[in-house]
Amino acid sequence: MRYGHSPGRAGSGGAGGRRRGVLAALALAGCGAVLAAGCTPEGARGSGPGGSPPGTAAAGSGSPVPSGGPSASPEATGPPAKGTVTVTGEVTKGLESPWGVAPLPGGDLLVASRDKGTISRVAAGSGEVTQIGEVPGVAPGGEGGLMGLALSPGFASDRLVYVYFTTESDNRVARLRYDEQRPPGQQLGAPDTVFRGIPKGLVHNGGRIAFGPDKMLYAGTGETGDKGLAQDKKSLGGKILRMTPDGDPVHGNPEADSVVYSYGHRNVQGLAWDKDKRLWAAEFGQNTWDELNLIEPGANYGWPEAEGKAGRPGFRDPVAVWKTDEASPSGIAWAEGSIWMAGLKGQRLWRIPLAGAQLAAEPEAFLTGEYGRLRTVVPLGGDRMLLVTSETDGRGSPEAGDDRILTLTVR
C-alpha cells in the first residue's frame, strides 16, 4: 500500500539504490549539525532536474467560486525556469518517525514523532535531541499518530505549541504550554483540546497544521478511505479547515458557523502560502495523479468524482499533477518564487516555479533517491530550508542514521 493511497495498491518498496556518498560528505569535520547555510560539503549538490511530470498546465477554470484571495496578475513573472538545490548540512539524525517540525526563536527545532507521540527539541549547533514531553492520548496506528506541529502566533509570550494527532476515536487539534524551566521530558503542560471530531482511519488522516498570514489556524484532513466524506460538507474529512486559535469558525469562512474552508480533497498533508498570501496545498491522488492545488475558499477540488485535471464544471482543477510513483506529496514550503514539495514514494524534492497563480515553468525534481522518503519541508527565510526524511515510518527501508533533518540552499 503506497503511503496515503488506497489499500490494495502495491507497496512503495525500499530506498534501493540510494547513494550515501552525499551523507559521507556531510560527515566531514566542520559540517556537523548546523542550521546556517554556509557549510557546503563537496558532493552535496542535488541530483539536478528530474523527469518533468505530465499534464502541468495552468489550473482549470471549473465553475466560479468565491475568491477572497489574491488572483493572478497578467504581469506576474516567475523565478528562473531552472533551479538548484544544495544540501548544506545535517542538523541531526537518528530520529524515529519525524513528522511535524517547528523552528523556535533562536534556531532550535521542535520535532514531533508520529509513532512515539513525543515532541523533542533539536539543538541548532550540536544536533543534540532532547525529549521535552509526550502528548497524552495519542493513538498511533497506520498513518495516524502525532503529526502536525505549529507554534502559536504569540509564542514569544504564550509559549503555546499546537499539535494535530490521532486518538482512539478521532483526529483532533490541541495546544500545550511549553515550559523550558521544567525538567526535560516534563516540559509540556496538559493538552487543551482546541478542535475535535475529525474522522480517523488507518489511512488518510491528513495531519498538517499551520498558521496563515491572517493568524488563523489551518488544518489539512483526509477522508480516511471513506470517499464520500470528501464531498459531504457536513463532514470534516477530506477538507481544509480554517479556525481561530481557539478552534472557532472564522468570520468570512464560506459557510457561517463552519470551519470548512475547501472540500473535495483526498488527503491533504502540505500547506504553504506564497509571498502574495495565496494558499497552496499538496494532496495524494489514488492510482493516477497526485496534485498541487491553489486553494480558494468554498472551492470543490473534486475527489472522488475527479482525480487530476478533469476539466469538469463545478470542480477546481490542480495547478500541477504528478504520476503517483513520482510524488506522494507530503509537506510543502514556499521559497525563492517556487513551491518546494517533499515526495514520499517519489523519494525526491520537487521545485514548482510560480508566476502568480500559475506555473512559470515545468516542475523539476531534485535529490531523487538520495535520501529515501521525504516528509516535511520547512522554510527558514530567503533561500534556506529544512528537509526531513521519512524512512522510519514503516514504509521505508531505513539505513544507519535515519531519519535525518537536512539544511538546503535553493534557487
pLDDT tens-place string over residues 250-295: 999 999 999 999 999 999 999 999 999 999 999 999 989 999 999 9
Answer whether residue 4 shows pLDDT above 50: no
Residue 131 banded pLDDT, cuts 50, 70, 90: very high
Cell numbers of 61, please? 477554470
Q: How far apart are CA 259 and CA 282, in angstroms?
A: 19
| pLDDT (mean) for 151-175 | 98
Q: What is the share, in percent, of the chain residues with pLDDT greater than 90?
A: 81
DSSP conformation letters of 149-207: EEE-TTHHHH-EEEEEEE-SS-EEEEEEEB-TTSPTT--B---EEEEEEE---SS----
- When the pLDDT of each residue in the chain is averaged and rounded to a whole number, the result is 87
Question: Is the pLDDT higher at 308 or at 26?
Answer: 308
pLDDT value, residue 77: 84
Does residue 82 have a pLDDT over 50?
yes
pLDDT on residue 44 = 36
Asked if the bond preceding 103 is cis, omega within 30° of 0, the reply is no
Confidence (pLDDT) at 119 = 99
Q: Tens digit of pLDDT for each residue in 7-47?
A: 333 333 334 445 444 444 444 333 333 443 333 333 333 33
Whether residue 129 is predicted with pLDDT greater than 70 in this model: the reply is yes
* β 129-134/118-122 pair status: antiparallel
- HEC string of the chain? CCCCCCCCCCCCCCCCCCCCHHHHHHCCCCCCCCCCCCCCCCCCECCCCCCCCCCCCCCCCCCCCCCCCCCCCCCCCCCCCCCCEEEEEEEECCCCCEEEEEECCCCCEEEEECCCCEEEEECCCCCCEEEEEECCCCCCECCECEEEEEECCCHHHHCEEEEEEECCCCEEEEEEEECCCCCCCCCECCCEEEEEEECCCCCCCCCCEEECCCCCEEEECECCCCHHHHHCCCCCCCEEEEECCCCCECCCCCCCCCCEEEECCCEEEEEEECCCCCEEEEECCCCCEEEEEEECCCCECCCCCCCCCCCCCCCCCCCEEEEHHHCCEEEEEEECCEEEEEECCCCCEEEEEEECCEECCCCEEECCCCCCCEEEEEEEECCEEEEEECCCCCCCCCCCCCCCEEEEEEC
Q: What is the mean pLDDT of residues 117-135?
A: 97
The residue type at 220: G
Q: Where does residue 329 rank: exposed (0-12), middle (13-18), buried (19+ CB within 10 A)?
A: buried
List, for residues 343-391, the tens digit of each pLDDT value: 999 999 999 999 999 999 999 999 999 999 999 999 999 999 999 999 9
Lowest mean pLDDT among 46-60, 104-118, 236-250: 46-60
Check pLDDT > 70 for residue 334.
Answer: yes
pLDDT at 41: 32
pLDDT > 60? residue 338: yes
The pLDDT of residue 18: 53
What average pLDDT does the segment 325-337 reach?
Answer: 98
For residues 110-115, average pLDDT: 98
pLDDT at residue 245 greater than cutoff 90: yes
Q: What is the pTM of this model?
A: 0.86
CA nearest neighbour of 300 among 16, 60, 55: 60
Give which of 235, 165, 234 is closest to 194, Cα–Cα. Answer: 165
Mean pLDDT of 48-66: 34
The 10s digit of each residue's pLDDT in 175-205 is: 999 999 999 999 999 999 999 999 999 999 9
Q: What pLDDT was estimated at residue 133?
A: 98
Average pLDDT score over residue span 144-164: 98
| Cα–Cα dist 161/132, whole Å | 12
Would you place residue 53 in the very low, low, confident or very high pLDDT band (cuts 50, 70, 90)? Answer: very low
pLDDT for res 36: 39
Flag the least confident range among 61-65, 226-230, 279-283. Answer: 61-65
